[in-house]
A and B are shown apart, each in its own frame.
Chain A
Amino acid sequence: MSKEVENLWKSEDYWAIWFSVLLFGGIFAGLISQVAKIGKWVGNPLTALSGQYLGLALLCAGLGVLFTAGVAIMKGDWKGFLGGYLVVFVLSVIAFVIAGQKSLKAWGLGYALWALGFGLIVANTVGTPKWLLRGARSEMFIKTGLVLLGAEILFSKILQLGLPGLIVAWVVTPTVIVFMWYFGTRGLKIQSKTFTIIVAAATSVCGVSAAIAVAAACRAKKQELTLAVGMTMIFTVLMMVAMPALAKFVGMDPQVAGAWLGGTIDSTGAVVAAGALLGEHAEKVAAVVKMIQNVLIGVVAFAVAVFWVTRVDRDPDAPRPSLLEIWYRFPKFILGFAGMSLVFSFLLIPTLGGDDVSAALDLSKHLRGWLFCLAFVSIGLESNFRDLWSQLVGGKPIILYIVGQSFNIVLTLLVAWLAFGGVLFERVYK
């Protein structure tokens, strides 16, 4: 038990919670009133940074002090961390700047792709020096970002959005995860169970953010997350274009089509873009279904963490682990993730009011974006193309994604028709 108490200030899992609590404390105390945002640009990338230099310096310094203090208390090499962190931050700024280009924004090629790409470029050309790796603490950034993300999952609002959306999002999603899990592990016999569950979560919940959450929950290898994120982003762009075109071609009801797009396309931005091609009703239905599906990210991450501790990581010959054993092995940041969601949904919104909470979340979501960007740069710096290629040999990951996504597309179409086609419920828009 004393080891567990010591973990409160020695493990990254707990520190992810403390960092997030400190950041929210700063926001609610008014110490953090702005977070640097990289703007859009067309021809000159420097215009994206216009007026942001001071904000970026403060952000870099603020996060640097916070994380360096955490690393020092965890008895890590804080001086080494600080040196590497500064370069990781600069690479993150570059990734955000590139993602702000007008055309890349329209194609949905966001910071995650560029951050991973720049990290990979450095790692696979000049190689990542050891001093830089000390600052690339991807798990610390990811876990803290995820706990902040938990606050954005507002059950109280989402649950008001009605039964049709809940049915599309909450019936199909677990079904697809289970299907892909069995197809990947038993059908394709993919060796890595962590990779299978990451791809299943990314396909069925909300793409990159679900992949990050589940990868952290089951302690997947970084290369597996890189591969899953890369595949998800490429297929998301294709689906954003092809699915509305198909819906239009077959003359699909816009509301059914909206629910279909919302339930299948991985990332939220691409869902809105695809729905917008089919009109206002389709856009709104698509966005709402996706929002409801987004809520599942915490539930799925929690369930995967429990499943991993009790089933996958367990020695089959060993007796069933006790509750205490499960507690020791459970990734604690998941509790912070779920706890933030519950506190914001059922405590802060009723007491502080929606406006104050929205203002706080507007800041935290930018902080979370920066943390994910730092994490993706770090993951890229720690990965190499040879490992990624070895994962792709045989094409099993792509088969898993395509078969799983096809199953998702067919099942979601059926449920979308039942829920939004006037079969089970009155139509949302008359």
Chain B
Amino acid sequence: MSRTRAWLKLGGAVVAVALGVALLHVASPHVGGAFGRAYDNNTRRDIDARALFYTEVGAVSEFLDVDGGRYGDPGQIQPRRVESAEEPVVPR
């Protein structure tokens, strides 16, 4: 009897997970506010918010492209003090 109950619990848990996933999928596009904006942006741009590590976020080269003049070009970033010692400070 208790064995049957255990299997029924397992079946119930599986059904609950399936229903939860279905509910989340149906409800997500209708969520408003900050949550809705985050969801819309992630689905529209196909952003993988699940990534655990930087190598999983997709085109890592886009972020690591130091030659392309993106963030990370060592030439772009200089400590202010060094720069001001060598060049006249230009008001920004």
Give the chain B neighbours of A206 by CB distance below 8 A: 52-53
A276 engages B52 (CB within 8 Å): no
B52 engages A209 (CB within 8 Å): yes
Q: How far is the CA of A241 from the CA of B34 in the complex (A)?
A: 6
B34 engages A269 (CB within 8 Å): no
B72 engages A426 (CB within 8 Å): no
Q: How far is the CA of A116 from the CA of B80 in the complex (A)?
A: 48
Interface residues of B (CB under 8 A from A): 3, 6-7, 9-10, 13-14, 17, 21, 24-25, 28, 34-35, 37-39, 41-43, 45, 47-57, 60-61, 63-64, 66, 70-74, 76-80, 83, 92
B72 engages A288 (CB within 8 Å): yes
Is residue A176 contacting chain B, with contact meaning CB distance below 8 A? Answer: no
Centre residue among B42, B54, B57 by max chain A CB count within 10 A:
B54
Give the chain B neighbours of A152 by CB distance below 8 A: 53-55
B10 engages A121 (CB within 8 Å): yes
Identify the stretch in A47-55, A95-103, A327-335, A408-416 within 8 Å (CB) of chain B at 4 or more residues: A95-103
Give the chain A neighbours of B17 by CB distance below 8 A: 98, 117, 121
Is residue A388 contacting chain B, with contact meaning CB distance below 8 A? Answer: no
Give the chain B neighbours of A42 by CB distance below 8 A: 25
Is residue A272 contacting chain B, with contact meaning CB distance below 8 A? Answer: yes
Known: A273-B47, A287-B57. A428 touches B21 (CB 8 A): no
Q: Contact partner of B42 among A127, A209, A273, A290, CB < 8 A?
A: A273
Give the chain B neighbours of A163 by CB distance below 8 A: 77, 79
Q: Contact partner of B64 among A161, A208, A365, A424, CB < 8 A?
A: A161
Q: How far is the CA of A27 from the CA of B51 in the complex (A)?
A: 23
Is residue A104 contacting chain B, with contact meaning CB distance below 8 A? Answer: yes
Give the chain B neighbours of A291 by CB distance below 8 A: 54, 60, 63-64
In the assembled complex, the CB of A155 is this many whole angstroms from the nearest CB of chain B, namely 12
A103 engages B57 (CB within 8 Å): no
Give the chain A neighbours of B21 by CB distance below 8 A: 98, 101, 103-104
In the assembled complex, the CB of B77 is this many whole angstroms from the nearest CB of chain A, namely 4
Q: How far is the CA of A112 from the CA of B56 in the complex (A)?
A: 14
In the assembled complex, the CB of A372 is this many whole angstroms from the nearest CB of chain B, namely 8
In the assembled complex, the CB of B30 is this many whole angstroms from the nearest CB of chain A, namely 11
Q: How far is the CA of A358 from the CA of B21 in the complex (A)?
A: 34
Is residue A10 contacting chain B, with contact meaning CB distance below 8 A? Answer: no
Is residue A36 contacting chain B, with contact meaning CB distance below 8 A? Answer: no
B52 engages A110 (CB within 8 Å): yes
A106 engages B71 (CB within 8 Å): no
Is residue A136 contacting chain B, with contact meaning CB distance below 8 A? Answer: no
B10 engages A268 (CB within 8 Å): no
Give the chain B neighbours of A269 by CB distance below 8 A: 47-52, 56-57
A267 engages B25 (CB within 8 Å): no
A268 engages B63 (CB within 8 Å): no
A162 engages B63 (CB within 8 Å): no
In the assembled complex, the CB of B13 is this many whole angstroms from the nearest CB of chain A, namely 5
